[in-house]
Structure 1
Amino acid sequence: MPQYSLRFILLLPALLATLTGRAQAITGTIRDANTHEPVPYVNIGVLHKGVGTVADEQGTYRLNLAEAQPTDTVRISSLGFRPRLLRVQELRQQPAVELSPEAVVLREVKVKAKGMYKRTRTLGFRNPDASGTLNMSSNDLGTEIGSVINLSRKPTRVINANFNVAYNHSGPLTFRVNIYRLLPNGRPSQEKLLRRDVIVTSGIEKGTITVDLTPDQLILDEDFMLALEWIKGPANAKVQSQLAFVAGLGYANNDFYLRETSQASWERTSVGAYLAGMQPKISFYVTAQD
């Protein structure tokens, strides 16, 4: 009898830790307030805490709130819907959330006649043979990495987006391609310039992921940030160590940024002193016409 009692005592802390962890996690579904259909790949996160996730294609999410306080603010957002802000305690009480559709207002752009876009060029850091690598900043869904793209001429039509993978040991991963408007200080904003979710799944172990953006008729007259967001993958995937993108040094001003998960703040990354005016770059680029 004492033997069993001792075993129970030893197991009790682990059991309590497991139950506490489960209690800190919220599971729910995000739906369209009009149609009541699930909204796929919604971003959910606690502001200023680096705590977040992405709902699956059925709108179901699991958010670990072990590091959040009841009064912290959770932001829930998806392209084409009005973002919602809820306190953690409110989300605990009602984990099923509805988002209201929101009309997308397009910014006015001076458009050239179709025949005027004759010159095709590459914008960004293209070098697939650069010797450096860069990883995602966490293993949480919604972790994202992006590079500022500077236009040579304005307006410019974006044809495709390209991401050079140095290695991928995680297997097939699903990403969302995001293009963000820049703030006056050159940092990325939360505003997306694509008017649809561009989702791509790739199991490429090394090489270039190319995403066709011609259906979007994306014509821009401003610099922007091109980003890749991890939204789905194998269970327990460790993209922080198992996935890396090609990086190197270059002279162009293509700053890159990272964020840990959904709704987290963007962090400008520095990998040491600049060399003779050269700066660290990640090999993200677009093919464009002007």
Structure 2
Amino acid sequence: MNRLLLAATFLFLSLTAHSQTIVLTGNVLHGKEPVPYVNIGIKKKGIGTAATIYGTFTLQLQQSSLTDTLTFSAVGFNELAVPVKTIVDGKLSEFALTEKTTSLREVVVKSKTAKIKKFGTTIRHPFIYGTSQAQNANDISEMAKLIKLNDKPSDILSVTL
């Protein structure tokens, strides 16, 4: 007897829950063209869906969502917000999105010519000239000057030794 009563209760609850469900179906368009993959939902409620590649969608809502607003959003389009009650009462099935335009500032591209600079000793200076002597005949003797380029990418055009 308890099982029969429990089964009847579940059947009654499922019928009333089903009767409180609102099913919204429709197409999202831009002009006459469908807009694919539009996000459709009620903000801050975690309720929503996405349109198909053909712009069609189906969304099931509870009766309590009649006071909420359904939002349609897609990249490149202005967001569309329509109250759920307006959709149900007007039996709306087509939702038109408008294109979002963004004005950009003008960008000017200028080419920069490379500057040619001479580094190192550019005049004869007695400090640079001289002889280097090794203490031992088998030692190697060198003279050098360190040239810093300030971590800038550089090309060597010529070298005089």
Q: TM-score scaled by structure 2?
A: 0.51
Secondary structure at the aligned position of 2:82 is classed as strand
How far does the alpha carbon of each residue in 1:188-230 deviate from its partner, in whole angstroms, 9 at most, with x for none? xxxxxxxxxxxxxxxxxxxxxxxxxxxxxxxxxxxxxxxxxxx
Shift of 1:86: 0.9
Shift of 1:76: 1.2
Q: Does 1:48 align with 2:44?
A: yes
| Bigger RCO of structures 1 and 2 (CA < 8 A, at least 6 apart) | 1
Measured in 1, the distance between the counterparts of 2:101 and 2:67 equals: 31
* Structure index of larger Rg: 2
**Amino acid in structure 2 at the alignment position of 1:71:** T
Measured in 2, the distance between the counterparts of 1:83 and 1:56 equals: 18
User: How do residues 186-265 of structure 1 correspond to structure 2 at under 5 angstroms?
Assistant: none
Q: Give the one of 59, 75, 81 matched to 1:79.
A: 75
**Amino acid in structure 1 at the alignment position of 2:27:** T
Pair 114,87 (structure 1): closer, same or farther in 2 beyond 3 Å: farther
Consecutive unaligned residues in structure 2, runs of 5 or more: 113-161
Pair 27,103 (structure 1): closer, same or farther in 2 beyond 3 Å: closer
Measured in 1, the distance between the counterparts of 2:108 and 2:41 equals: 37
How far does the alpha carbon of each residue in 1:28-71 deviate from its partner, in whole angstroms, 9 at most, with x for none? 22122x22x32211111112222111111111112232285322
CA RMSD of aligned residues (A): 3.3
Measured in 2, the distance between the counterparts of 1:17 and 1:114 equals: 72
Q: Does 1:58 align with 2:54?
A: yes
Shift of 1:6: 7.5
Q: TM-score scaled by structure 1?
A: 0.31
**Amino acid in structure 1 at the alignment position of 2:22:** Q
Secondary structure at the aligned position of 2:65 is classed as coil
Q: Give the one of 24, 31, 43 matched to 1:26.
A: 24
8 Å contact from structure 1 (residues 42, 77) kept in 2:
yes
Higher strand share: 1
Measured in 1, the distance between the counterparts of 2:28 and 2:60 equals: 16
**Amino acid in structure 1 at the alignment position of 2:98:** P
**Amino acid in structure 1 at the alignment position of 2:104:** R
**Amino acid in structure 1 at the alignment position of 2:62:** A
Secondary structure at the aligned position of 2:62 is classed as coil
* Identity across the alignment (%): 30
Measured in 2, the distance between the counterparts of 1:73 and 1:7 equals: 37
Shift of 1:109: 6.1
**Amino acid in structure 2 at the alignment position of 1:24:** I
Consecutive unaligned residues in structure 1, runs of 5 or more: 116-290
8 Å contact from structure 2 (residues 38, 74) kept in 1:
yes
Measured in 1, the distance between the counterparts of 2:110 and 2:60 equals: 50
Report what 2:96 is aligned to.
Answer: 99
Report what 2:34 is aligned to.
Answer: 38
Stretch of structure 1 that moved more, 9-18 or 44-53: 9-18
8 Å contact from structure 1 (residues 81, 99) kept in 2:
no
Pair 50,113 (structure 1): closer, same or farther in 2 beyond 3 Å: farther
Higher helix share: 2
Measured in 2, the distance between the counterparts of 1:103 and 1:15 equals: 44
